[in-house]
Structure 1
Amino acid sequence: MKKILYLLYFVCGVSFATTSTDLNNNDPKVGDVLKIKQPKSVSFKHIHFPRLNFIVKRGGLANYNSVYEELVIVKKVTDKNGKVQVTLERKDGKKFFGYLKNVTANYTESIDAGEIVKVKP
């Protein structure tokens, strides 16, 4: 009877151990593909794009329409003060607004706000 009970504890422990590692799969990794969505407000709050007046000074149009539905790749992941910061680069290799190669974003807050979404491979 003790052997069956120990076997039951072992099987339950192994099954819980494998499911707990799958729950922490939301962390970003270098090479993840994300899609930039249209924000609910007028501008992006958690993706650090330049203000519209700086885009105009560089010769671009004063709107963010060129980045909506754009696929980006995570190039760098850093942890600053408990917040996960990611550096994003366009998947097609072009520059954002014609002059920015990379932009940074607060990963967890931008995912929660719906500004970026993960793309399934």
Structure 2
Amino acid sequence: MKNLLFLLIFVCGVSFASTSPTPVVNNNDPKVGDVLKITTPKHVAFNHIEFPKLNFIVKRGGLPNYKSVYGELVIVKKVTNEDGSIHVLLERKDGKKFFGFLKQVSANYTESIEAGEIVRVEK
């Protein structure tokens, strides 16, 4: 009787162990080194990429528009997961600075992809 009880417990333990959830890896998640392209936003300004405001660009000696970043290829330098959303640190692929003074910008990856501000570039 004891052997039957131990066998039943063993079988239940093995069946529950095999049904444990496995971590889901999403192929759309960004990785360091991924190449993205900045596209034209639907609104006047970028909402999910943290570019400086136009008056700050003018004070630093740049032109007061975002047209210089449209179509730029950027590289993901750092990926962080904050408050359930993915944030990335972006740097221009050609090594130049954004607006002549900003080396890196941060962006909310999930919201900027959904809004169409950035798109993935296939390798």
Q: Name the TM-score, length of structure 2 as normaliser.
A: 0.80
SS of the counterpart of 1:109?
helix
Report which of the two structures shows the higher radius of gyration computed on alpha carbons.
Answer: 2
Q: Which residue of structure 1 aligns with residue 78 of structure 2?
A: 76
| Per-residue deviation, 1:87 | 0.1
Deviation digits for residues 64-100 of structure 1, max 9, x if unmatched?
0100000000000001111100000000000000000
Unpaired runs of 5+ residues, structure 1, are: 1-16
2:106 corresponds to which residue? Answer: 104
1:12-54 deviation line (CA, Å, top 9, x unaligned):
xxxxx9xx75xx1000000000000000000000000000000
- Tell me the equivalent position of 1:25: 27
Runs of 4+ that moved beyond 2 A? none
Cα distance in 1 between the residues matched to 2:31 and 2:41:
23
Query: Alignment RMSD, CA only?
Result: 1.2
2:61 to 59, 62, 83: 59
Distance 1:119 1:79 in 2: 22
TM-score w.r.t. length of structure 1: 0.81
Residue among 45, 66, 81 paired with 2:47: 45
